[in-house]
Amino acid sequence: MALATWVGNIQASPVSIRSSARHPPQVLEAPDKLFARHARQQDIDAVSSRADDDDSSMSGILRRDFDVVSPPSKVLPPRSDDAADASDGDYKPPKVIPRSGEEFSMSGKLSPLHKVILSRADGITSAGDFEPFSPPPKIRPSQSRISRRQSVWTSGFIRNLINKFTGQSPTKPVPGSGSTSSGLTPCQQNGPSKYGIPEMETLPKYYGGGSETLWGTITTTNANPYKSCPQTGATRSYDFTVAECDIRPDGVETKRAVCVNGQFPGPLIEANYGDMIQVKVTNKLHEKGTSMHWHGFLQTGTNQMDGVPGVTQCAIAPNATMTYTFRAELYGTAWYHTHYSAQYAGGAVGPMVIYGPTNTNADIIDLGPVMLSDWYRNDYMTNIRGLMRPISEGGPINPLTNSNLINGKMRFPCSKTNLKCDTADYSTFKFTSGKNHLLRLVNTGSNAVQKFAIDG
Amino acid sequence: MISNDFMPVEPYNTSMLALGVGQRAEVIVYGLGKPTDKVWMRSNIVAWSINDGQLTEALGVVYYEGADTKTIPTAGLNEGPAADTSPRWCGNDPLTVTVPSFPLKASEPAITKHLDIRMKNNGTHMLLNFGDNSFRANFNDPLLGKALSVLSTISSRQETCGTLVPRRQ
């Protein structure tokens, strides 16, 4: 509550305002699956509890007392110290045909990491009045496929082509112009992401119109979530495609970013405490493996779903699919990211919200995930090659963070770069005076510690 | 602040909070402003996190319900509560204030090991070492599969040798 009680040192300098529609009606229609949060939920079948573990060793802690709703409990084996025990011993990692050794080789093609920073002469040279190309609206690939259409339209290819023919470059606005008008559409900036734009919906208290009976009488104080969890019988299914994407999170061009379903940050995974989550992950990267790690999930009995290549699975080969199935054993806010090389630094991250008991009865507007993330202009392979540069060639180069984002957005002052740069939008959040707002903060970056605050 | 990394905490007040990579915090922010207010939301990279110094403060805009969304707040960069008095401090709020709603008692460890984390030269590369070991994954032969096959070997032996390994359900 006191986040907002700090009285900021507001600088009262007037700013010039260039009026413009905040977002052109560019936000594309989302058909069937993409943003219909409630479309996929299955009916909640039952609520039952985990076997009654013994919490009595915790002095002063209430013993768990689940209200078990019919049908009779499906009882999961109690968690024990047998942590290494997988539910069934027949784990068979998918076969991966080894590709070219690019990931491991330190070939002569090694590009110095800070080439971009040191030699900025390769950027766009002149500012013009050219309006950035807008992708044709109303076409949106289904969630399961990043269609060729999208990758072509949103790739800079066509924009570049037009620039080349007209001899013009995208507008280079004055930084900090005090306007919300943007040189980029939300789609050019982040793909079909809804985070930080007015179209972002507030989140419900329970997923799929459920109620607190989903987790019975469990509260934050009367049950040890590390020892038991309800079984709702529901499975939440998602379809992810990992592929390269053309995004410009802070307005500056990015090389070979990697996105889930073409958007940065990736789609929101939602479930209720005790639900099963099932995510089909398809790799559409060119000659690169991938995998998805569900950060913070216990994976009791589902060790092989943890998403770490070389440890719990073989990487998902290009054009291959792996379906992850695991339970929401804890509740609150989490995130997912690819776990192959430094891939997630390139953008393949997204938030997860598990609705469950909370520590407040206040009337709250859930504004959803607020992802804080450092950002690199270089593609992840360039960064990792620098980090792993052989001693004979000069040893490791630590990648430097180039920018910082909230929900994948920030307005980089274009005067500070010679790279292609357009005015980008800040993430926006709708507050209501006198109301409580829930912010689900996640540091989805790959290097930097973040310090978060709100003026006012 | 009501929850930290999947663990509800006893609510406490703060004007700023630090999050390391991967950490999460659920915060409730009371809308103290007027309906026409607009203010910055800020996130700063701590000074120790390596960066090129060009943009270390990410901004978002909080618009109250009656605010003019065609304009942005006027406060400058690096002001407000994000103007940290100890910008190099990367720690979270002290454990004395982050009290879990359901405290778990740590059990006595059976084994205690001291592991130093170091960058070490292995002859050709600098590698992170964890207690004098670095890990090289074989992407075609993940450890879990190996562990399971070791387990199944041991568990076939365990019938005669006792219970050394986790029991299979």
Q: In this predicted complex, what is the ipTM?
A: 0.88
Please say if the pLDDT value at position A281 is more than 70: yes
**B68, B130: one domain:** no
What total of structural domains would you count in chain B?
2
- Please tell me which residue, B127 or B164, carries the higher pLDDT value: B127
| Segment 93-152 of chain A within 8 Å of chain B by CB | 93, 96, 98, 117
Mean pLDDT calculated for residue range A284-296: 96
| Per-residue pLDDT at A180 | 53
| Per-residue pLDDT at A212 | 61
Question: Between the ranges A119-128, A292-301, A356-365, B105-114, where is the mean pLDDT highest?
Answer: A292-301
Asked which of A29-38, A245-254, A291-300, A442-451 is least confident by mean pLDDT, the reply is A29-38
B161 to chain A, any CB pair closer than 8 A? The answer is no
| Per-residue pLDDT at A279 | 98
**B82, B1: one domain:** yes
How many residues are present in chain A? 456
| Per-residue pLDDT at B151 | 64
Say which residues have a Cβ less than 8 Å from residue B153's Cβ, sequence separation at least 6.
Answer: none
Q: Is position B41 within any domain?
A: yes
- Please tell me which residue, A47 or A434, carries the higher pLDDT value: A434
Q: Which H helix or E strand runs over A269?
A: strand A269-272
What is the pTM for the complete model shown? 0.71
| Per-residue pLDDT at B80 | 67
Q: Indicate the SS3 state at residue A294.
A: strand
Identify any residues that bridge with A124 across adjacent strands, giving them in sequence order.
none
Q: Do the Cβ atoms of B59 and A410 come within 8 Å?
A: yes
| Torsion, Cα of B71, A431, A440, B13 (10° steps) | 110
Of B42, B63, B148, the CB nearest to A89: B148
**B34, B96: one domain:** yes
A359 to chain B, any CB pair closer than 8 A? The answer is yes
Of B2, B16, B55, the CB nearest to A453: B16
Of A1, A398, A453, the CB nearest to B28: A1
Q: Is position B88 within any domain?
A: yes
CB-based contact A286:A327 (threshold 8 Å): no
- Res. A107 pLDDT band, cuts 50 70 90: very low
Contacts of A19 in chain B (CB under 8 A): 70
Mean pLDDT calculated for residue range A152-181: 40
| Segment 14-73 of chain B within 8 Å of chain A by CB | 14-35, 37, 39-46, 48-52, 54-66, 69-73
Contacts of B26 in chain A (CB under 8 A): 332-333, 438-441
- Please tell me which residue, A407 or B161, carries the higher pLDDT value: A407
Beta strand ranges found along A285-435 (DSSP E)? 292-295, 321-327, 332-338, 349-355, 364-375, 403-406, 427-431
| Per-residue pLDDT at B48 | 78
**B17, B67: one domain:** yes
**B19, B97: one domain:** yes
| Per-residue pLDDT at B138 | 87
- Res. B136 pLDDT band, cuts 50 70 90: confident
**B9, B59: one domain:** yes
Contacts of A364 in chain B (CB under 8 A): 28
How many angstroms separate the Cα of B150 from the Cα of each of B105, B145, B155, B156?
Answer: 32, 9, 8, 10
Of A84, A308, A426, the CB nearest to B166: A84
B118 to chain A, any CB pair closer than 8 A? The answer is no
**B17, B82: one domain:** yes
Please say if the pLDDT value at position A147 is more than 90: no
- Res. B14 pLDDT band, cuts 50 70 90: very high
| Per-residue pLDDT at A105 | 29
Q: Is position B166 within any domain?
A: no
**B19, B79: one domain:** yes
Contacts of B3 in chain A (CB under 8 A): 332-333, 358-359
Please say if the pLDDT value at position A40 is more than 60: no
Q: Do the Cβ atoms of B32 and A96 come within 8 Å?
A: no
- Report cis status (omega within 30 of 0) of the bond before A71: yes
- What's the pLDDT tens digit per position in A367-382? 999 999 999 999 999 9
Please say if the pLDDT value at position A130 is more than 60: no
Can you give the residue range of the structural domain that contains B127? 117-161
Q: Percent of chain A having pLDDT more than 90?
A: 54
| Per-residue pLDDT at A419 | 94
Q: Is position B112 within any domain?
A: no
| Per-residue pLDDT at A211 | 65
Mean pLDDT calculated for residue range A37-61: 34
- What's the pLDDT tens digit per position in B42-73? 999 988 788 898 999 999 999 999 999 999 99
CB-based contact B150:A88 (threshold 8 Å): no
- Please tell me which residue, B154 or A12, carries the higher pLDDT value: B154
Contacts of B25 in chain A (CB under 8 A): 441, 452
Question: Sheet holding A450-454: strands in order across?
Answer: A427-431, B57-64, B38-45, A450-454, B17-19
| Per-residue pLDDT at A208 | 82
- Res. A300 pLDDT band, cuts 50 70 90: very high
Judged on CB neighbours under 10 Å (0-12, 13-18, 19+), A185 is: buried
**B129, B93: one domain:** no
| Per-residue pLDDT at B133 | 86
CA A445 to chain centre: 10
- Please tell me which residue, B96 or B147, carries the higher pLDDT value: B96
**B10, B46: one domain:** yes
Separation of alpha carbons B56 and A180, rounded Å: 20
**B135, B96: one domain:** no
A386 to chain B, any CB pair closer than 8 A? The answer is no
Nearest by Cα to A260 from A184, A182, A377, A339: A339
- Res. B18 pLDDT band, cuts 50 70 90: very high
A265 DSSP assignment: S
| Per-residue pLDDT at B152 | 63
- What's the pLDDT tens digit per position in B77-87? 877 666 767 77
Nearest by Cα to A316 from A385, A236, A376, A240: A240
- Res. B150 pLDDT band, cuts 50 70 90: confident
CA B122 to chain centre: 29
- What's the pLDDT tens digit per position in A380-404? 999 999 999 999 999 999 999 999 9
Is beta strand A450-454 parallel, antiparallel or unpaired with respect to B17-19? antiparallel
Contacts of B20 in chain A (CB under 8 A): 443, 449
Separation of alpha carbons A421 and A406, rounded Å: 18
Contacts of A87 in chain B (CB under 8 A): 169
Domain ranges of chain A: 24-456
Q: Is position B107 within any domain?
A: no
Report domain A24-456's class.
mainly beta
**B89, B44: one domain:** yes
Separation of alpha carbons A286 and A289, rounded Å: 9
